[in-house]
Amino acid sequence: MSLPPLILASASPRRRELLAGLGVPFEVITAPVQEEENPATDPRVMVAHNAALKADWVAAHRPEALVLGADTTVFLDGAALNKPRDAADARAMLRRLAGRTHTVFTGLALRQVSTGLKLDEGVASEVTFRPLDEDIIEAYLARVHTLDKAGGYAIQEHGDMIVAGHLGSFTNIVGLPVETVKQLLTRCGLPA
């Protein structure tokens, strides 16, 4: 029996790299959907909704495939910090995160229409930032393109400049909790 193809329903290069690390062949199809990005929405609900939205769209077009959707956001003070609108927004996010601990939530959705498979998981990690002054913020923004990253930062790129420590899955903070993805794929019979 041949295994179904795996499709990553995400345009994120970081998710692509992390999934490739599991050694499972996959293709990428980006779903042309409008994601929920209301900062007041419960972040667990928002990332679960967005992951399912992407996975459901791709799965409807490729019913035989296993489709993995994912969405990640940063949560602090009762609000989601999604991708910054511009450099000024990224600076403001880093100022808010400085010296504090926040939560990174990722929603995962695995779908296969032909079998009726619907698996959903949520993963949370905590990140503690160092105190940051304006010089460190500017130096960090000069080194890292932050506009496509929730919270305006990337822990894997010069993270030592801004991050004091983390609890939970490091790959979740990057954008795809590979430990949980591996468990989901194994449950579906893929040798991850």
How many domains are there within the chain?
Answer: 1
What pLDDT does residue 38 have?
81
Give the three-class secondary structure for 112. Answer: strand
Global pTM value:
0.90
What pLDDT is recorded for position 2? 66
Q: H or E stretch including 161?
A: none
The SS3 assignment for 109 reads strand
Residue 1 confidence class, pLDDT cut points 50, 70, 90: low
Q: Is residue 58 part of a domain?
A: yes
Cβ distance 42 to 50 under 8 Å? no
* pLDDT confidence of residue 192: 62
User: What is the CATH classification number for the domain harbouring 75?
Assistant: 3.90.950.10
Which pLDDT belongs to residue 62? 96
| CB atoms closer than 10 angstroms to residue 139 | 15
> For 27-86, what is each residue's pLDDT tens digit?
999 998 888 888 778 889 999 999 999 999 999 999 999 999 999 999 999 888 888 999
- Mean residue pLDDT of the chain comes to 92
Residue-wise burial string across 19-48, b where 16 or more C-beta atoms lie within 10 A, e elsewhere = beebebebeebebeeeebeeeeeebbebbb
Of residues 38, 7, 145, 153, the one with CA closest to residue 94: 153
Residue 192 lies in a domain: no
> Does a structural domain hold residue 1?
no
% of the chain exceeding 70 in pLDDT: 98
Whether 16 is in a domain gets the answer yes
Range of the structural domain that residue 13 is part of: 6-187
Distances, alpha carbon 158 to alpha carbons 34, 126, 162, 163, 174, in Å = 31, 18, 8, 9, 13
SS3 content of the chain, % helix, strand, coil (to 5): 35, 25, 40
Query: 72-81, 112-121, 168-177: lowest mean pLDDT where?
Result: 72-81
Residues acting as catalytic residues: 71
User: Does the pLDDT of residue 132 top 90, yes or no?
Assistant: yes
| Beta-bridge mates of residue 6 | 66
> In sequence order, which residues have a C-beta less than 8 Å from that of residue 170 and are 6 or more positions away?
125, 155
